Structure 1
Amino acid sequence: MKEHKVIQTRQLTESTFVIRLERNEMIFQTGQFILLGFNGIDRREYSVYSGEKDDFIEVLVREVEGGKVSAKLKRLKAGDTVQVDGPFGFFKFSPDMYAVKKFLFVATGTGISPFHSFVRTHSEMDYRLVHGVRFAEEAYDHRDFDPDRLTLCTSGETKGDFYGRVTTYLAEQNIEKDTNCFLCGNSEMIYEVFDILTGKGIPVSNIFSEVYF
């Protein structure tokens, strides 16, 4: 476990923010997560939000009501330090790992974090990103993605690209059977999308998931 200095924090919504930390020579593979915390006791897992080639580490944090760690993280400012452990996890990604280099990324909420890292690291790959949120303001840093490869699904208002849940959107899409599909977000979404994809003939071996909550 190391102390990392905060470079800056960026508020994205009232409850969601990005913390940028000094990298301190940390080596990670996009898709992995780190533990952030204080006093060696209170620690939480956050996917790395930045790319492998960035000279800093970023995480996307949603403040949880009553949460010990997220509330403390929200109060951090430039120059403060936070304890970092890792990286950990097996949701590792590189396009070179796959014979067919077509990718579908499906996220809900802050589950977009690893895909932000994927695209910052491998910006030229052939991908589609479907991001489900309640409100369009939760389109976290969508400017970092190719707009022609991105679909924002909003279930609480009609300001996105599709009004409704990601599951409803995906059920209506034609998805090539050799697509490599990555799912990140709440468990209910992952179970439902898994069933939709396999129902479209996509083999289980082409579906990878990371449960956030």
Structure 2
Amino acid sequence: MKPEVQLDTNYYKVVGIRKLTEHTFVLSLPKSRFEFVAGQHVSLSITGDYQSREYSIYSAEKGENLEVLVKEVEGGYFSPKLKHLKVGDMVEVHGPFGKFGLDVKNKDTHKHIFIASGTGIAPFHSMVKSNPGLNYQLIHGVRYAEEGYEQEDYNKGNYTLCTSRDKSGDFNGRVTDYLKKTDFDKNTSFYLCGNSDMIFDSMEILSDKGFGRENITVEVYF
């Protein structure tokens, strides 16, 4: 793994809010001198507000803007406030934090399987955009096909959308159902990001297929 980037605090004006679904959006900030490793996350707060939340970085390491993927939580305190920000409003960014990222020693020798639920796709979007030519497969579990956020950013043959509540995806069912029915090469590194139930169930399935903890990197969202 790459060493964790030195922490810093930055104040930025919002430069864009890109709506993906009714409740999900990408918050764009000017990147300035902000440096991070794909897979890391930041802590966001709104100027004048006492609360903050952590979000995985969605944009590429060399991207023009610093972006995070946000889903508005019904009845939540913080995400609705982010959704109602306007261009020019100020936010505070702490970080980057974390060591979740590509297994560098296996980067060119292994296939990288990214397994995500919902907005857990964010760090994988950053990894793919930051590493052109990477040998990867992204398995994304959502309820409805509309939650397959910005699919055009991935190579068509490298993205599998698993939909549990409609049949519009590539696979009808949960991510775990897909994993049970799929065989993987021995030289594979797995990365899991999303809710804890999906992660624990996926790890058990992968273990049954002969992949140990040394083959799996995890980032738990909730």
TM class by shorter chain equals over 0.9
* Structure 1 consecutive aligned stretches of length 4 or more whose deviation exceeds 6 Å: none
User: In structure 2, what is the equivalent of residue 153 of structure 1?
Assistant: 162
RMSD: 1.3
Following the alignment from structure 1 to structure 2, what is the Cα–Cα distance between the partners of residues 140 and 33? 18
User: In structure 2, what is the equivalent of residue 50 of structure 1?
Assistant: 59
Task: Give yes or no for contact 2:110–2:187 (8 Å, CA) kept in 1.
Answer: no
Letter in 2 for 1:102: K
Where in structure 2 are the equivalents of 1:15-164 lying within 5 Å?
Answer: 15-38=23-46, 39=48, 41-93=50-102, 95=104, 98=107, 100-164=109-173
Question: Residue by residue, what CA displacement relative to the aligned partner does 1:42-63 show, whole Å, maximum 9, x if unpaired?
Answer: 1000000000011210000000
User: For structure 1, which segment, 170-179 or 147-156, has the greater mean C-alpha deviation from structure 2 after superposition?
Assistant: 170-179
Question: Residue by residue, what CA displacement relative to the aligned partner does 1:6-39 show, whole Å, maximum 9, x if unpaired?
Answer: 1110111111000110112111000000011123
Give, in angstroms, the shift of residue 95 of structure 1.
4.4
Task: Give yes or no for contact 2:40–2:123 (8 Å, CA) kept in 1.
Answer: yes
Following the alignment from structure 1 to structure 2, what is the Cα–Cα distance between the partners of residues 178 and 97? 9
Cα distance change, pair 2–67 in 1 and its aligned pair in 2 (3 A): same
Give, in angstroms, the shift of residue 96 of structure 1.
5.0
Question: Residue by residue, what CA displacement relative to the aligned partner does 1:54-111 show, whole Å, maximum 9, x if unpaired?
Answer: 1210000000122222111101121111111100011032645546331100000000
Structure 1 length as normaliser, TM-score? 0.96
Structure 2 unmatched runs, 5+: 1-8
Aligned length: 213
Letter in 2 for 1:22: P
Where in structure 2 are the equivalents of 1:181-196 lying within 5 Å?
Answer: 181-196=190-205
Following the alignment from structure 1 to structure 2, what is the Cα–Cα distance between the partners of residues 135 and 164? 10
Following the alignment from structure 1 to structure 2, what is the Cα–Cα distance between the partners of residues 99 and 163? 32
Give, in angstroms, the shift of residue 123 of structure 1.
2.3
Following the alignment from structure 1 to structure 2, what is the Cα–Cα distance between the partners of residues 201 and 101? 16
SS in 2 for 1:210: strand
Give, in angstroms, the shift of residue 161 of structure 1.
0.3
Cα distance change, pair 203–94 in 1 and its aligned pair in 2 (3 A): closer
Following the alignment from structure 1 to structure 2, what is the Cα–Cα distance between the partners of residues 133 and 17? 16
Following the alignment from structure 1 to structure 2, what is the Cα–Cα distance between the partners of residues 161 and 151? 6
Following the alignment from structure 1 to structure 2, what is the Cα–Cα distance between the partners of residues 86 and 164? 36
Letter in 2 for 1:92: G
Following the alignment from structure 1 to structure 2, what is the Cα–Cα distance between the partners of residues 96 and 40? 41
Following the alignment from structure 2 to structure 1, what is the Cα–Cα distance between the partners of residues 64 and 21? 25
Letter in 2 for 1:9: I
SS in 2 for 1:68: coil
Structure 1 unmatched runs, 5+: none
The partner residue of 2:186 within 157, 177, 188 is 177
Following the alignment from structure 1 to structure 2, what is the Cα–Cα distance between the partners of residues 188 and 31? 20
SS in 2 for 1:106: strand
User: For structure 1, which segment, 97-106 or 132-141, has the greater mean C-alpha deviation from structure 2 after superposition?
Assistant: 97-106
Counting aligned pairs with the same residue, the percent is: 48
